[in-house]
Amino acid sequence: MLRATGFVIFRVLDENIQYLLLRASYGDRHWTPPKGHVDPGESDFITALRETKEEAGLDESDLEIFENVTKTLEYKVKNKNKNTIYWLAKLRDPQKPIILSEEHTELRWLKLTEAQELAGHKDFNELLNEFHTHATKCMK
């Protein structure tokens, strides 16, 4: 089974919650949060940190990570089963620039419904709804 991990990163800007999505430079050029495959011997959480650094230029110190807010999505990629584990993370400095890797062509910060429309997958949209409940608590 294929396994990947990543963070659903949000920021609070002008009292709005916005989610970071990156557009892949390969395949169907889909939109996802920073994520990637778990390397042999690497923990899920360390993979999420590594992939976020590689794909978005963000270190653990840039994020407030909610380790208890996590969800695993199960789906098929090229007829192979895949699990992707996401954790919720808040960008500490909402103005911090995102540095894309060659794996992505563009980025967008989007409100919940916009992020759901762009991502377009039912299970991911449900995850965003759940995570949004937690993110909203950060604004209070």
Element (H, E) at 136: helix 122-137
Q: Which pLDDT score is estimated for 140?
A: 59
Query: Where do we find the tokens 């910060």?
Result: 109
> Within 10 Å of residue 84's Cβ, how many Cβ atoms?
24
Neighbouring residues of 14: CB distance < 8 A, sequence distance ≥ 6: none
Q: Tell me, what's the pLDDT at 81?
A: 87
Antiparallel, parallel or unpaired: β 80-91 and 2-13: parallel
Residue owning tokens 């653990």: 60
Instruction: Pick one of 3.20.20.450, 3.90.79.10, 3.30.420.40, 3.30.70.370 as the CATH number of 2-137.
Output: 3.90.79.10
Walk along the chain (140 residues) and give the pLDDT tens digit of each residue: 889 999 999 999 989 999 999 998 877 788 999 999 999 999 999 999 999 999 999 999 999 999 999 999 998 878 888 899 999 999 999 999 999 999 999 999 999 999 999 998 899 999 999 999 999 988 75
Strand partners, 75: 82
- Sorted by where each begins, the domain ranges of the chain are 2-137
